[in-house]
Amino acid sequence: MMLHDVPSIAQLIKSLQQVPYLASKNLYRVAEHFLELDERRLEQFCAVLLHAKDNVVKCSTCFCWQEKERNCSFCFAEKREQQIVCVVESWQELLAVEQTKGYTGVYHVLGGIIYPLEGVGPEDLTIEPLIKRVKDKNISELIFALSLTPEGEATSAYIAKKLDTLPIKITCLARGLPVGSSLNTMDRLTVFKALSERRPF
């Protein structure tokens, strides 16, 4: 069977191809999964997705996801050290740090890293809001928890240069993490040790 023989499946595959991080080898399996779902479960899935889209927004301070009608669980947590900010690429890295259960500060989600080859510049990230946050909130320490890749290092250096006139402590994760690794693929003990043994940037 060729896809052009079943245009409805071809259209479904085309839509799935637009989902980032969905490996091309899994497209047909995912399509088949949805096609084999009974109507009730499919409607339930769509309803949950639409509900999340309508009710989840990014915090205007740290840019992590939050419920629209609730305060950010990090920025408004009384037990968290609001003057210590851990800078991460995405909420997946934030979750990796949280799973260590050893960090008590707050976060700032950049939304990626500076990657000129992919057309991602500083203006595409939440760097300016971070600079403003540091200035306005009297942040005492900034922890760079970005992936140890050339792009991650360059992003950290760019932000540090923007803050070099401010009296703020800037640290980064210990070099116990393998160079070229992605934070969200590390086990929680490795992330915890790297966070605990952070050093001046």
DSSP 108-121: EE-SS--BGGGTB-
Pair 118, 181: CB distance under 8 Å:
no
What's the whole-model pTM score? 0.81
Residues 112-139 as b/e (b if ≥16 CB within 10 A, e otherwise) read bbbbeeeebeeeebbbeebeebbeeeeb
CATH code of the domain occupying 76-200: 3.40.1360.10
From first to last of the 201 residues of the chain, give the pLDDT tens digit.
566 678 898 899 999 999 988 888 889 999 999 999 999 999 999 999 999 999 999 999 999 999 999 999 999 999 999 999 999 999 999 999 999 888 999 999 999 999 998 899 999 999 999 999 999 998 999 999 998 788 999 999 999 999 999 999 999 887 666 667 777 877 777 787 778 777 777
Exposed, middle or buried by CB within 10 Å (0-12, 13-18, 19+), for 183?
buried
Q: Which residues pair with 141 in a beta bridge?
A: 84, 169
| Range(s) within the chain of domains with CATH label 3.40.1360.10 | 76-200
